[in-house]
Every structure is written in C-alpha cells, then in structure tokens.
Chain A
C-alpha cells in the first residue's frame, strides 16, 4: 500500500505568550513541533503499513527549517520525506497551500491513501485536507477515530458531535484523523540515526506542474486584514470561605446579584 502523510511544522501554541506591555505575540524561544494531529496521521499510516506492508511518504510545505519536522517523521518510521519549499509559496492561504500540496502529490504519482491531521494547531482551519482531496478529485473522510482496510474497502469510524458514524469508502481516499485514533509512537534510536543521515529532497515551484497565479499570496483569495490580541478578561471574583457551604452560598448570591441566575 502506498500511503502519503501531509504534515505541518507549527509553533507549539501552548508555549506562545503575549507580551503584556506591547500586547503582541512573543515568538522567541517558542519551539517548532510537528503538528500533534499530524503525528496521529503518521501513526495511523505506520500501523497500516505494519499490517499490510507498503511505503509511507511524508510531505510538508514550508520553509527550509521544516526539514526538522520531516526528520522527526522519518525517525518515527516513515520511509521517505519530501519538503516542498519556495519563496513563491509564501503567504499561501488554505486554497493555495492545498493546490501546491496536490501538485506535489500528483508528481509523486501513485497513492492509495492520503492521511492528514484533522487540523493544524496554529491555524485550526481543518481545510487543507478536504481541499487537497478536491484538487485531486478523490473522496475524503474527515474526523476519523478508527480505520480498517480490507482490500480496497476502507471502513472507518468518523467523529460526529453526538457520537460516531461508521463510514465505508474505496481507495484511493483522503482521511483526516482525530487525536483519539491512536497514541503516536516515539522515534527509535535507530530511526533517529537514520533520519539524521537522510537527505530530504526539496521540491520547488520549478519541480511542480503548477500555474504560478495560483501559488502563494497571488493564489490566496483570503487576506489577513488585521491581527490583534483578544481583550484580556477582567479580574474575576475569588471566593475562599471557611467551609464549602459558605463559599457556595457566596457564589450563588453573586450569581444572583449579577442576574446570571
């Protein structure tokens, strides 16, 4: 089975802080990580490979330093990694990003399954996966929490607001996964050593069959107009009485004074 996994290198948003004086984002010292959901996507791919055999190729679009993220994926057990990087891709929104990744996938040629994380933690759009599937003209199943492959039939459990839906599809298919699908494996020492030695090919615009008008800022219908920090919450009321009874009584009183109840 030929499996592709699309990953993104993201700032660890949990480590991002706001400078209280300038009210801007402090990015210095914020580590770059593989988007957590993409690790679940890779793990799902590796498990299918363990079971059915085949090859796992990881692709990422990003600046040259995204190679680090791809090396981590190699260390986890991916067979091959490709970075797609070009200044022409800069400022891409989801439509331009998915267009570029779809062109990359077309160049790779054969695939049975494409895995993505359900969304990236820096942008949270959950759009690039479905848009890649659309560009490629293949079917998709998003928010997948369980997957089984039998021949060319794929059976999954898809997360809904109220539960799970059992959905069947046929290869080729794009699947986006939620965190509960698995626990990503840790890189092995052998894997890490192999990853360190690996040369990761970098494909640029010239390597892809693309229309330049559809890349980067030019190919992005959406534009960021303004960035601002959300208003800080005003200081709350902290209640600490001698007994739980008293504390609850004070809370109820305050909620009722504020006409919340």
Chain B
C-alpha cells in the first residue's frame, strides 16, 4: 500500500503539507510529492480538496494462511509468584476482542510452580490456559521466554496476542514478533476491532503523546501488541468459572540461556512501580530542597500511592531515576496523578498526559501543568501538602 499524488490533478494548495504528521510531503514545481518519510497513514488522502492523493493498493506476496490462526491470547507476566495486574487487565480486553471475533480467549503462563495462577486466569475470563512450567523458567530470561512463546505460537497458532508493555514484555515481545515475522504494535492505549476488515485496531500515542495512531496488521499472524499497564480496568474475578488447562512441556535447557540473572536489587516495592500505580504523587523543583520531598512521600503513603519525580529532581539527585516521570523517564497512566511543585515542562507532560485525573499544586498560576490539571491549587506546595495529607488521613480513618 502506498500513497501517490496524481500530478495532473494537484493544484498545489498545500493542504496536505500541514496535515502530514511525518513531514513526508514536499512541494516542488507547484506539485506535491510524497517523500520516503511516508508511512502511508493516509492523513493527506482525506484532506486533498481535489482528490489528487490516492492510496494505491499493492498486491502483497504473503505465504501465510491466515485462516489457520484462531483465538486471542494474553501473556500473563508473573512477578515473584504473583500475576502482574496488567495481565488481568488484558484478559478483560481480550475477552471483548475474542467475543467480537467469535473466538476463544486463552492465557499463556510461563514460569515455575505457577499452576495455581491458572485459577485466576479462568476467573478473569480465560477459556484456556497454556501452561509451561519448568525449573529452567523460574526466572524471566529473554532467550528462554522467547523460545517458549515462539513454540506455543508455532504449535497452536493464535490470531491475536496481547502482552503488557512492561520492561520484560517489551524485551521479549519484539524478539518473538521478529522470530515469527509478524507486526507488533508497541505501548497501546486503545484496542478495538476494525469494522471494515475485522482486524484488531491498535491505538497508541506517538510523538510524545502529541498524536495518536491507529495501527493494523492485515496480512501477518498473529497480530501482536504490547499494552500499557493500568490503562484498562481489571475484570471482576469470578472463581466459579472453569476452563481448560493445557500443559505444554518445556524444551528449554540451561545452556539455551545466553544471559543470566545473578541478583535482584530491590530499590522499592510499591513506591517506584509507577507503571502499575493507580495513584501517583509526584514532586518537582517546587519542593525546594531534598528534605521536603518527605511531604510528597507522606501523601503517597496515606494514599497507598507510588512516588514520582520530575527530571529536575532526579538530576539533582533527590530521587533515583526509577521515579522519573516524563519523556526520558517513565510513561505513566494512573487513575489520579498529583503534581506537586511541578511546573509541567512538555517533557513531563508527555509522560503523564494519559492520567485519568490530574491534581496540580503550584504557586505559579501560569504554570503549564494547570492546563493539564482537572483540579489545581494555586499556592505554596510546602504549605498545602501537609494539610492535604491530614485531610486524606481523616477521610481514610472515617
């Protein structure tokens, strides 16, 4: 598929230039030309007032028999013997996709002594669970997990695979997709079924959250995507539900793993797991000095929230890098995001703009964070925070 300009029709109005998100159209000799930066997104096609821009359908040579591929799979990530929330969130979404496509929903569970977790997968709506349980798989490893998931795909041929966009999910998701030779849409925040074609439509932010792109994978199977944690709600677990447990033997040998996890250094448990947090309390330069950061942590403790930080705070060494929210830190999407003494540089906003609700406290009424905030208090954050913490404490104990 490619975008072509019919040069005879082009009136050089330039309308297409301004809508192209990739800057892939140039005007030469009063005619529009598509350059190699084009991704065939089609934004220009609808804009051209004289219909001079056309989408050319190209015959693809595809050896894949798509009809063999059925079912929606969700990869369930296990962390310290428990399922990460994102897996359950995806079972909720996967159920909708599977129902929409008239297919089954299956979970993939890889690890050691994880059979008990299958109950949770059934309770969350899974019809089947593919379980690969072996001592060699006790720890996540790129090589062993890639080979295991690839084997499952080769044998059972799913149509769709959803994975959490966690560090591990993004680490081996790309490798699996590459080994299969299929497409992987990264870091999705929206899932649906394309009405015209029946393909999964994957929606994700790009350009630092400035635009959204909806992506499809028409000719390759499985259609794969990683999905951001805490974008979707966990389904209500119903433990009366049962399903089919399919045990698959592991083929992994110790020597297949070319890297080895020697040790884990736990910096924190709840407080820096921003990706999965429902509530985040973040502090910025407005906290004035490192000692004051405890005010941010106090509020976080009361709310059971994770602690975020702006780049300035991390660069100044007040908080470790694991807490940084923003373009060069973590991208988060909690239910509630508190921005305390954060002015809201665009790089910061890029990391938290998908939060459901933003509450900002800043003494500068013109701070850009207020444009993003649902509720904003203009005032001294050092004064406001302790009072706010007290109030939430009262509400909690009431």
Contacts and interface: CB of A to CB of B under 8 A. Distances in A.
Interface of A: 11, 13-14, 16-19, 22, 24-27, 36-37, 63, 86-87, 89-91, 93-95, 98, 121-127, 129-131, 133-135, 139-143, 145, 155, 157-170, 173, 178-180, 213, 217-218, 220-230, 233, 236-241, 244-245, 247-249, 251-252, 254-255, 260-261
A114 B367 CA distance: 41
Interface string B344-385: 011100100100011100000100001111111111100110
Contacts of B269: 162
A65 B312 CA distance: 32
A11 B183 CA distance: 24
A64 B199 CA distance: 35
B175 A143 contact: no
A244 B36 contact: no
A252 B273 CA distance: 26
Contacts of B217: 221-223
Nearest to B390: A248
A224 B373 CA distance: 31
B219 A143 contact: no
B260 interface: yes
B21 A162 contact: no
A228 B183 contact: no
Contacts of B262: 155, 165-168
B280 interface: no
Contacts of A217: 1-2, 40, 58
A47 B76 CA distance: 38
Contacts of B251: none
Given A13-B207, A228-B211, A159 B265 contact: no
Interface string B263-277: 111111100110110
A37 B328 contact: yes
A96 B327 CA distance: 25
B235 interface: no
A167 B261 contact: yes
A13 B331 CA distance: 15
A143 B167 contact: yes
Contacts of B185: 222
Nearest to B208: A13
B346 A14 contact: yes
Contact of A164 (B41, B211, B265, B336): B265
21 contacts: A14-B350, A24-B18, A90-B37, A130-B172, A130-B178, A131-B175, A139-B142, A142-B170, A163-B267, A163-B272, A178-B321, A225-B214, A226-B214, A227-B43, A228-B214, A229-B211, A233-B371, A244-B384, A248-B391, A251-B375, A251-B388
Contacts of B373: 236, 238
Contacts of B268: 162-163
B194 A225 contact: yes
Query: Secondary structure of the A side of the interface?
Result: mixed
Contact of B379 (A26, A155, A230, A240): A240
Contacts of B2: 91, 217
Interface of B: 1-2, 18-21, 23, 35-43, 58, 60-61, 79, 142-143, 146, 166-168, 170-175, 177-179, 181-187, 194, 201, 205-220, 258-269, 272-273, 275-276, 314, 320-322, 324, 327-329, 331, 336, 345-347, 350, 353, 357-359, 365, 370-380, 383-384, 387-388, 391-392, 395
Contacts of A221: 181-183, 217, 219-220
Contact of A94 (B35, B174, B387): B174
Contact of A126 (B23, B38, B170, B345): B170
A227 B280 CA distance: 29
Contacts of A19: 18
A239 B375 contact: yes
Contacts of B37: 63, 90
B277 to A, nearest CB: 10
A63 B37 CA distance: 8
Contact of B263 (A165, A233, A236, A237): A165
A78 B246 CA distance: 52
B18 A124 contact: no
B378 A91 contact: no
B3 to A, nearest CB: 9
Given A37-B328, A165-B265, A224-B215, 8 more contacts: A95-B181, A123-B206, A124-B186, A133-B175, A139-B143, A224-B214, A227-B213, A252-B391
Contact of B167 (A142, A224, A254): A142
B33 to A, nearest CB: 12
B208 A163 contact: no
Closest 4 CB pairs of A and B: A90-B36, A221-B183, A13-B208, A180-B321
A14 B327 contact: yes
Contact of A227 (B168, B184, B211, B391): B211
A229 B210 CA distance: 7
B178 A24 contact: no
Nearest to B303: A261
Contact of A260 (B168, B173, B336, B350): B336
A121 B327 contact: yes
A134 to B, nearest CB: 4
Contacts of A135: 178
B209 A230 contact: yes
